[in-house]
Amino acid sequence: MTFRVEWRTSLQQLPEAATVLIAFPGVGNIGKVAVESIRELHRTTELARLHPDGLPPLALLDEDGLLAPPHFSLSMSETTTGETLLSLTGINQPPEPSHQSIIARQLLEFFEKHGAETLLVLAGLTAPPEHKEVFAVASSASFRIDLESLGVDVRRDEPKRGVVGLSALMASSGPLYNMNSACIIATTLGSSQDTLASQRVVEHLERWFSFGLQIPTGGGEWLKEELKKRAPASNDDLVKELTASHDAFYM
């Protein structure tokens, strides 16, 4: 499988020791909506489009009205404190588990090569409506200690059933590529666009890491409508497909 990088600026490199927020479509689209809101509320530049093989063969019109092949978008946002924060997201993720493993490795090698330091994968966990939690799960003991020192709610006993999918591979494999990685999880009813849970994610990111983020208000209904416009008319139910034979949840 091949992996092409389409740089969108003349920079062709990432900021030194960058933190990357990563989100793919999943339960409640928690992470994706959070990333889209951060991009919308801050001055954001698309640095690159990453084109791995294995994504669903769906080409869509981009913001310039041009037909773009399947890709992940890597962008840089300038926060209110002048800090630069990277984010990676896309319309789809690969339906085949074998493709997910290969693409995760390619993405991790890309970020390692370009000197990224921390990967924070944003995701959702289906829970009863009275549960409105946001917590983290780390992939190394040293990073867990660092997170706890910042006041992050780091869990050692959740998610009990484990995790599958591209998000799971990215969140767990950072130490293998000399990076810190963790999963930031928000509980949700699992609706297709849980914007209130996404708002809680952004609020906790700012509370824990002091990135200088503007916080979306009102659940980001404006963003929900924008995402509906961009979404394809029909999507495969990847949740059912990937969890049918696993005692685990899909991010």
pLDDT tens digits for range 1-17: 579 999 999 989 999 99
How does residue 115 score in pLDDT terms, banded at 50, 70 and 90? very high
Three-class secondary structure of residue 169 per DSSP: helix
Give the lowest-confidence range in 64-78, 163-177, 227-241.
Answer: 227-241
What angle do helix axes 30-41 and 221-230 make, rounded to 10 degrees?
A: 110
Its sign, for the CA torsion 166, 172, 178, 184, is: positive
Q: Strand pairing partners for 154?
A: 136
Give the lowest-confidence range in 46-55, 141-150, 175-184, 239-248.
Answer: 239-248
Least Cα distance to 70 among 39, 104, 93 occurs for 93
Mean pLDDT of 146-164: 91
Query: Is-contact 117 17, C-beta < 8 A?
Result: yes
Least Cα distance to 249 among 237, 235, 238, 239 occurs for 239
How does residue 223 score in pLDDT terms, banded at 50, 70 and 90? low
Per-residue pLDDT at 64 exceeds 60: yes
Per-residue pLDDT at 230 exceeds 50: no
In the chain, what is the straight-line distance between the N-terminal and C-terminal CA atoms, in Å?
24
Average pLDDT for the chain: 86
Per-residue pLDDT at 52 exceeds 50: yes
Give the lowest-confidence range in 192-201, 206-215, 223-232.
Answer: 223-232
Most confident of 48-57, 112-121, 220-229: 112-121
How does residue 237 score in pLDDT terms, banded at 50, 70 and 90? very low
Say if domain 3-7+14-233 classifies as CATH 3.40.50.10900.
yes
Per-residue pLDDT at 205 exceeds 80: yes
What residue spans define the domains of the chain? 3-7+14-233
